[in-house]
Amino acid sequence: MGKPAVFSIIGGAGFRAQYYLRIAKALPDRFRVSAMTVRDEAKGREMEKRWQVPAYRTMEQMLEKDRPDFVVVSVSGSAQPGYLLQLAELGIPALAETPPAPNLEGLIELHEKLTLPGARIQVAEQYQFHPLNEARMAVIRDGRLGEITQATVSISHLYHGVSLLRKMLGIGFEDVAIRGMRFESDWLAGPNRSGPPKEEKIATSRRDLAWLDFGNKLGIYDFTSDQHRSWIRSNHLSVRGVRGEIFDRRLSLLHDYKTARPLEFRRINKGEWENAEGYFLQGIMAGDQWVYENPFMPGRLYDDEIAIASCLQKMAAYAAGGPDFYGLPEASQDCYLGYLIEQAIQTGENVPSVRQPWAPK
């Protein structure tokens, strides 16, 4: 495997930063966190004790002592551009969180000040690297569904959902017309980012729906606030092609025009029943074929951590001179279409996209 990739974290006390710290602890042969910034001194000491990683108050203090392969910028969308600009000036590759900027103006500014001058930046959009989504994409790339015409994503909000829609549909920067609506209803509030509910509480849920018409392809966005954490609502993803369909874990194919061939995506875990190899995901099969094999075996990571570990692995390769995997133009396009979805829902009007400066000529 060689030496582990070495990275530092700006915003080390945040919710998202904890993923990177857990992953590095679980996979010490792959990754090492060399330092982090934590603005609060008491919290910084607490983080140092917990993770055995030096914590500095500022990025400048950290980089005086630390020269990592790349830096993870895990801060708010409004704070992100300033750090990315400083790291670009220092020539240090950066892995940014989504969104990389808080609004369209900020995205355009990043394009002008970072992408055009050649700054080395990628964005940690992890949903495409979830094991089941990787398995779905393997089937799509293999051509088993034929030409893809439709996709529905009900997994996460705005730019996350758009990213998956474009990925499943094979859409780049094509123009789109968007219409949307919101439906509100009561539901029993469940977990949030802070953890399980502390009392029974009826709350208002907002279900946002949008139809993205790319002309010859249709994307349907469907998300209810906190759906991805809810115990009483389910996530959903479907992809329709000329010759077959993915519907969540079900795969509907044809052996020939008159013979159906239904399959299931089946997770294969080690450590179940009498197996004594440790508990971890080995991969996903469809019929007798492996469509996904976990590259981080035998690390005991859950799916979102596996996906973020994939971002880290790809970022390490990118920082060493390898290819892009999700750069600022892709992230900016997904954020931009997310803004248009919000506009379509709020206005009730049909909203067309306009080609942005980060789109290829």
Bridge-based pairing of strands 31-37 and 55-56 is parallel
Q: 133 by DSSP, 3-state: which?
A: helix
**Residue 311 within any structural domain of the chain:** no
Are 137 and 196 found together in one domain?
yes
Tens digit of pLDDT for each residue in 12-64? 888 899 999 999 999 999 999 999 999 999 999 999 999 999 999 999 999 99
Total domains present in the chain: 2
Are 198 and 287 found together in one domain?
yes
Which amino acid, residue 347?
T
Q: What is the mean pLDDT of residues 142-163?
A: 96
Q: Where are the beta strands (DSSP E) in 70-164?
A: 70-73, 94-96, 121-123, 148-154
Are 29 and 100 found together in one domain?
yes
Q: Which residues contact 40 (CB under 8 A, 6 or more apart)?
A: 13
**Residue 356 within any structural domain of the chain:** no
**Residue 108 within any structural domain of the chain:** yes
**How much is the pLDDT for 57?**
96
Question: Contact 186/205 with Cβ under 8 angstroms?
Answer: yes
**How much is the pLDDT for 192?**
82
- What are the tokens at 309? 């570990």
Are 293 and 147 found together in one domain?
yes
Tens digit of pLDDT for each residue in 109-129? 999 999 999 999 999 999 999
Q: Which letter does DSSP use for residue 120 in this model?
A: -
CATH code of 167's domain: 3.30.360
**How much is the pLDDT for 280?**
95
Domain final residue, candidates 300, 319, 350: 300
Q: What is the mean pLDDT of residues 313-339?
A: 97
Please spell the DSSP secondary structure of 19-58, one letter per residue.
Answer: HHHHHHHH-TTTEEEEEEE-SSHHHHHHHHHHH---EESS
**Residue 349 within any structural domain of the chain:** no
**How much is the pLDDT for 289?**
96
**Residue 75 within any structural domain of the chain:** yes
Are 94 and 146 found together in one domain?
no
Tens digit of pLDDT for each residue in 175-202? 999 999 999 999 898 888 778 888 999 9
- Please give the Cα distance from 303 to 283 (Å, whole number): 11
* In the predicted structure, residue 227 carries a pLDDT above the cut 70: yes
**How much is the pLDDT for 43?**
94
- Please give the Cα distance from 201 to 245 (Å, whole number): 38
Are 21 and 87 found together in one domain?
yes
Tens digit of pLDDT for each residue in 232-262? 899 999 999 999 999 999 999 998 999 999 9
**How much is the pLDDT for 1?**
54
Backbone angles phi, psi at 86, to 5 degrees: -65, -45
Q: How many CB atoms lie within 10 A of CB 127?
A: 20
Are 117 and 159 found together in one domain?
no
- Please give the Cα distance from 306 to 101 (Å, whole number): 25
**How much is the pLDDT for 194?**
79
CATH code of 28's domain: 3.40.50.720
Are 102 and 212 found together in one domain?
no
Q: Which domain holds residue 34?
A: 5-123
